Amino acid sequence: MSYRDLAVFSIVIPAHNEASVIGRCLAALLEGLEGSQFEIIVVCNGCADDTAAIARSYSGVKVIELDVASKVAALNAGDQAASGFPRAYIDADIQLRGGDLLRALQEFETPGVEIVAPRLHVDLSRSNVMVKAFYGIWMRLPYFADGQMVGSGVFILSQAGRQRFGEFPQIIADDGYVRSLFGGQERRTANGCRFTIFAPQNLSDLIKIKSRVRFGNMELKMKYPELSVGSENSPQALVSLVLKKPWLVPAAFVYAYVQWQTKRNADHRMAIADFSTWERDNSSRA
């Protein structure tokens, strides 16, 4: 089956003050989709910049504007407006070319596959040596290396997969929640296609976003204790990696420091029940 022949597939992009990157996201996405039947829905939530105007300047892009700054509200509003499947949920600050999206959709031809993501590529071109050291470890640990990663900027659901849950719940780790609903055989990282995330320039901004991820997983475990969340990258996995590749010891110290600091930050947020702060890296958006 060719996904160019689908009646329509849908792409939902929540965006909060993303004027500096939404054009990059949409330009890449439209590249290679010529002749395909698709809809792109950008849901601007609580924007105080030109995100909506920039998104509207791209032909065929539907823009919804919400007063509240809430990614979850944006995801649910996008879902209500979307009409097609498979359905891709894409962060506004990543880059995914339309041709790569079409190749990823082919994974749904395998029976039982319900959630798919292209392979992640980390752009470290503007990052300092400490950030590069962190990702040098992170990309060798199971969450990334085992090829079962879904989330971190893009996930695509089949119609049956989307029926696995109702509305997106009011949580920070929306991607972690969705990923945890599917077993390993139902998840697929698509080889031969990729999307790009842009790493922070410095360690401070890296710690911000990784603190949000860690706190999001803690919140998820608290609210949904029956789900398996965030167990892929254990301390044992780090030790095992370093024993096999001892030249990675300096980078492992950086990775361990980031993990320690983000745990402190997340524990503090949990202690004061701060479920509203959204740490954001602006250095990669500059």
Q: What confidence tens digit (pLDDT) does each residue in 184-210 have?
A: 899 999 989 999 999 999 999 999 999
Instruction: Give a yes or no: residue 286 inside a domain.
Output: no
Find the CATH number of the domain harbouring 56. 3.90.550.10
Residue 6: the pLDDT is 52
Quick check: 150 pLDDT over 70?
no
Find all residues with CB under 8 Å of 113, minimum gap 6, and list them.
Answer: 107, 158, 185, 186, 187, 188
pTM of the model: 0.92
The domain of 29 spans: 9-272
Instruction: Give a yes or no: residue 141 inside a domain.
Output: yes
Question: Angle, to 10 degrees, between the axis of helix 249-271 and the axis of helix 235-244?
Answer: 170
Residue ranges of alpha helices (H) inside the chain are 22-30, 51-56, 71-81, 98-105, 129-138, 142-145, 159-162, 174-180, 203-223, 235-244, 249-271
pLDDT tens readout for residues 44-62 = 999 999 999 999 999 999 9
Q: Tokens representing 97?
A: 């070319």
The closest alpha carbon to 48, from 20, 17, 72, belongs to: 17
Quick check: 5 pLDDT over 60?
no
Q: What is the C-alpha separation between 105 and 85, in angstroms, rounded?
A: 10
Three-state DSSP class for 26? helix
Instruction: Give a yes or no: residue 132 inside a domain.
Output: yes
Quick check: 148 pLDDT over 80?
no
The closest alpha carbon to 138, from 127, 116, 119, 122, belongs to: 122
Instruction: Give a yes or no: residue 233 inside a domain.
Output: yes
Report how many domains make up the chain: 1
Instruction: Give a yes or no: residue 172 inside a domain.
Output: yes
Q: Tokens representing 223?
A: 């609210």
Instruction: Give a yes or no: residue 18 inside a domain.
Output: yes
Q: Tokens representing 59?
A: 């032909």
Instruction: Give a yes or no: residue 283 inside a domain.
Output: no
Instruction: Give a yes or no: residue 261 inside a domain.
Output: yes
> Could you tell me if 190 and 104 are in contact, meaning their C-beta atoms sit under 8 angstroms apart?
yes
> Could you tell me if 115 and 157 are in contact, meaning their C-beta atoms sit under 8 angstroms apart?
yes
